[in-house]
Amino acid sequence: MRQVRSGAPEVATPRMTARVLAVFYAFGGVAGLLALLGASPHSDHSWAVAGIATGALLTAAVLGHWGPRWPRAAFHLPVGAATGLIGTAVALAPDPLTALAIASIVCFVAVDAFFFFRPGPAVVHLGTALVGVTTVLVLRGDVPVPTALALVAVVVALGTVARDLSRRAASASRDPLTGLANRRGFDDALQELLAAADRRSEPLSAALLDLDHFKQINDTDGHEAGDLVLVRAAETWGARLPTGAVLARHGGDEFALLTPGLTGDATLALVERLTGLDLGTGVSCGVAQHVPGETGAQLMRRADAALYSAKAAGRGRSALDGDRDSRLATELAAAIAAGGLDIAYQPVVELGADGVIGVEALARWEHPERGAVPPDEFVALAEQHGLIPALGEQVLRTALTQLTALRAATGRQLRLGINVSVHELADPSYVPRVTALFAEFGWPADHVIVEVTETQLESDVAVVRQNLEALMALGPVVAADDFGTGYSSLSRIDVLPVQHLKLDTSFTATITTSPRREQLLASIVALADNLGLGLVAEGVETAEQDAALRRLGCRYGQGWLYGRPMPVTELAVWLDARSVDGAFSNVR
Ligand code: C2E
Ligand code: MG
Ligand code: MG
């Protein structure tokens, strides 16, 4: 991992280090050859020095080509080797002038050491180089000691300047608290890694990691506790990253990660491991894989969109951008937030009369590209991504707004059926929230029917049951929706917290197909009557079904035969021809 707490400058990426070292080796080689050309007299050793200079030129080529892929620690080798080569060439130089000229190449080591390494190892590199080269110079016997020391003074001054400059460069791109790269350091690394990924056609992914409820930690436990969490995150994650990965503090409680060589899926697996480590708070994460040609800003925008959908899904999760579901969930979240869902109202009628009991509000989502998304699909998506409470609230608010306007225009007080998921009912604040909405619109609570599917009613969660009982006590009627599709509730129908059954469309569709089916329906009607439950048959499409239902004593129906789900404007026209039946028998 590239970490800068220790003082290793952010400019020292493997690519930059390799490039600078290659340049120094090349010029060191050229300088050695030039010094040799000016030397006199030539000796056998001259060939050895020429060999070392040529070796330096070859090393430059190796560094330039393969160096960018080396881990950072590997660069200690060429820097250390430079000291060895310079020392040997100084020892073999044919005359003192050539020896001094070659010894001056040690300047490169001073610059390299402070630009590329932490201060400790940098001092070791420079110290070794100076002591080694000066000793060799002095041992030659033809270079006066003060002259050798003059060279040392120059190189020490150069090293000091290099250290200060590299520190400045590093602190501009370093976060002082965590020691990680800051946003600027991250952006530099992003540009560099993007270019490298495009050049080598290798994958590169980016992740944004956001600490959940960080503000709360700061507010309740103080800023020091918040700082501790940030430092712990940096240390815990930093120690577990693959080579070449860049971790940065991107904003207040947001970290950013770049994983060269890893696909989006592999990065998702990595961040799931990292965020699974205990930090004392949850972490949400969005991941995106770079697509060739895209800019860094575009990549980070996609990682941010994935982070948004991870948060919308209830936090503490990681999401990969581009996965169709998470994209659709993000769009659904945006549509809900913008109040972009529509409502279709389907009438519930009294069979055989022309009375309307009320309407069921059915959510509709018109996707800008895909057109109408089936409710079964987007409701399931909302359930998976934690969007149900927001969806339910928007549907209820819109329905109340439209139906109170309709009431004001027509004087008709309808019953409003709303579909509620256990994900909403599992929230202890559900009942106060909806009753506040009823009050806000002046909507009588006993004119609300809360429809919960039969299968969800079987939930054992205590708070769901308490909420249903609290609702019933406050006025709304609770209905078991899609009745006849669950398995266990017939045996528990007496204890389920409901007052009302809505016979599922699939059941209604079969009532006219056999005498035994009719008999089954007759038994359900009797059962509902005996238990004092209201019964509505859903999905009534034909006159035969309507006749069979009436014959068997089912009083209420809903289906295309009476009215399709329709927008509120159409509902107003549809209602004009019918009366509203205030009495909903069996219910209350
Ligand atoms: P549901 O509550 O059982 O709604 C009745 C479904 O039957 C609706 O499908 C309605 O359009 C359809 N239907 C009505 N009459 C007929 C008919 O004569 N024949 C046939 N074949 N179908 C008929 P829709 O609108 O597609 O809604 C599907 C489900 O989505 C709903 O089933 C409900 O469970 C869920 N849903 C809809 N809106 C919401 C909502 O706001 N919140 C929640 N949590 N769920 C919702
Ligand atoms: Mg329903
Ligand atoms: Mg239903």
* pLDDT tens readout for residues 412-430: 999 999 999 998 998 889 9
Cβ-contact 11, 166 below 8 angstroms: yes
Mean pLDDT across the chain: 88
Which of 202, 196, 198, 94 minimizes the C-alpha distance to 140? 94
Residue 367 CB contacts under 8 Å (≥ 6 apart), including other chains: 328, 331, 373
DSSP class of residue 445 equals G
> Given ligand 1 and candidates 376, 394, 419, 464, which is best to mutate, with the most ligand atoms within 8 Å of its CB?
419
Ligand 1 atom with minimal separation from the 504 CA: 3
CA of 505 from ligand 1 middle (Å) equals: 9
CA of 324 from ligand 3 middle (Å) equals: 28
CA dihedral over 543, 547, 549, 553, signed as positive or negative: positive
For residue 255, the model assigns a pLDDT of 96
Give the residue, 172 or 268, on which the prediction is more confident.
Answer: 268
The reply to whether omega before 41 is within 30° of 0 (cis) is: yes
CA nearest ligand 1 atom 15, residue: 559
Residue 539 CB contacts under 8 Å (≥ 6 apart), including other chains: 504, 505, 506, 508, 509, 558, 559, 560
Residue 541 CB less than 6 A away from ligand 1 = yes
Q: Where in the chain is the domain with CATH 3.20.20.450?
A: 344-577
Give pLDDT tens digits for 297-313. 989 988 998 898 888 77
DSSP states along 206-274: EEEEEETTHHHHHHHH-HHHHHHHHHHHHHHHHTTPPTT-EEEE-SSSEEEEEEET--HHHHHHHHHHH
For residue 510, the model assigns a pLDDT of 92
DSSP states along 338-353: TT--EEEEEEEEETTS
CA of 360 from ligand 3 middle (Å) equals: 10
Residue 473 CB contacts under 8 Å (≥ 6 apart), including other chains: none
When pLDDT is cut at 50, 70 and 90, the band that residue 323 belongs to is low
Ligand 1 atom with minimal separation from the 558 CA: 15
How far is 342 from 401, CA to CA, in rounded Å? 12
CA-to-CA separations, 489 to 424, 456, 579, in angstroms, rounded: 21, 10, 35
Ligand 1 atom with minimal separation from the 482 CA: 3
For residue 316, the model assigns a pLDDT of 85
Give pLDDT tens digits for 443-493. 999 999 999 998 888 777 788 999 999 999 999 999 999 998 876 556 777
Residue 395 CB less than 6 A away from ligand 1 = yes
Residue 560 CB less than 6 A away from ligand 1 = yes
Of 19-23, 151-155, 461-465, 570-574, minimum mean pLDDT range: 461-465
Q: What are phi and psi of 197, to 5 degrees?
A: -65, -40
Cβ-contact 255, 237 below 8 angstroms: yes
Cβ-contact 21, 63 below 8 angstroms: yes
CA nearest ligand 1 atom 12, residue: 539
Which of 257, 390, 344, 363 minimizes the C-alpha distance to 560? 344
Given a cut of 90, whether residue 287 has pLDDT beyond it is yes
CA of 439 from ligand 3 middle (Å) equals: 27
For residue 47, the model assigns a pLDDT of 85
Listed in order, strand segments (DSSP E) in 377-423 are 415-419
CA nearest ligand 1 atom 26, residue: 375
Residue 393 CB less than 6 A away from ligand 1 = no
Residue 576 CB less than 6 A away from ligand 1 = no
Given a cut of 60, whether residue 3 has pLDDT beyond it is no
CA-to-CA separations, 20 to 63, 64, 102, 348, in angstroms, rounded: 9, 9, 19, 79
Residue 66 CB less than 6 A away from ligand 1 = no
| 344-577 fold | TIM Barrel (3.20.20)
Q: What is the mean pLDDT of residues 388-403?
A: 96
CA of 544 from ligand 2 middle (Å) equals: 23
DSSP class of residue 104 equals T
CA of 508 from ligand 1 middle (Å) equals: 14
CA of 327 from ligand 2 middle (Å) equals: 27
Cβ-contact 339, 389 below 8 angstroms: no
Residue 358 CB less than 6 A away from ligand 1 = no
Q: What is the mean pLDDT of residues 539-547?
A: 96
Question: Letter for the amino acid at 43?
Answer: S
CB atoms within 10 A of CB 470: 17
Q: What is the mean pLDDT of residues 8-31?
A: 81
How far is 206 from 538, CA to CA, in rounded Å? 49
For residue 583, the model assigns a pLDDT of 57
For residue 67, the model assigns a pLDDT of 87
Ligand nearest to the CA of 564: 1
What predicted TM-score, i.e. pTM, was given to this entire model?
A: 0.58
Q: What are phi and psi of 356, to 5 degrees?
A: -105, 130
CA nearest ligand 1 atom 13, residue: 539
Ligand 1 atom with minimal separation from the 375 CA: 30
Residue 348 CB less than 6 A away from ligand 1 = no
Q: What are phi and psi of 486, to 5 degrees?
A: -85, 180
Residue that has been written with the tokens 């159409």 in this structure: 570
CA-to-CA separations, 550 to 537, 544, 556, in angstroms, rounded: 10, 10, 9
Q: What angle (nearest 5°) sits at the alpha carbon of residue 584, between those of residues 411 and 552?
A: 135
Given a cut of 60, whether residue 335 has pLDDT beyond it is yes
Q: What angle (nearest 5°) sits at the alpha carbon of residue 206, between those of residues 116 and 382?
A: 160
Q: What are phi and psi of 80, to 5 degrees?
A: -65, -40
CA-to-CA separations, 266 to 269, 331, 344, in angstroms, rounded: 5, 25, 43
CA quadruple 90, 93, 97, 98: dihedral, nearest 10: -90
Residue 178 CB less than 6 A away from ligand 1 = no
CA nearest ligand 1 atom 2, residue: 419
DSSP class of residue 415 equals E
For residue 489, the model assigns a pLDDT of 59
Given a cut of 90, whether residue 110 has pLDDT beyond it is no
| 183-321 fold | Alpha-Beta Plaits (3.30.70)
Residue 419 CB less than 6 A away from ligand 1 = yes
CA of 528 from ligand 2 middle (Å) equals: 18
Q: Where in the chain is the domain with CATH 3.30.70.270?
A: 183-321
How far is 202 from 258, CA to CA, in rounded Å? 13
| H helix or E strand, kind and range, residue 488 | none
Q: What is the mean pLDDT of residues 326-350?
A: 90
Residue 379 CB less than 6 A away from ligand 1 = yes
Ligand 1 atom with minimal separation from the 376 CA: 30
DSSP states along 348-377: EEETTSSEEEEEEEEEEEEETTTEEEPHHH
How far is 215 from 265, CA to CA, in rounded Å? 30
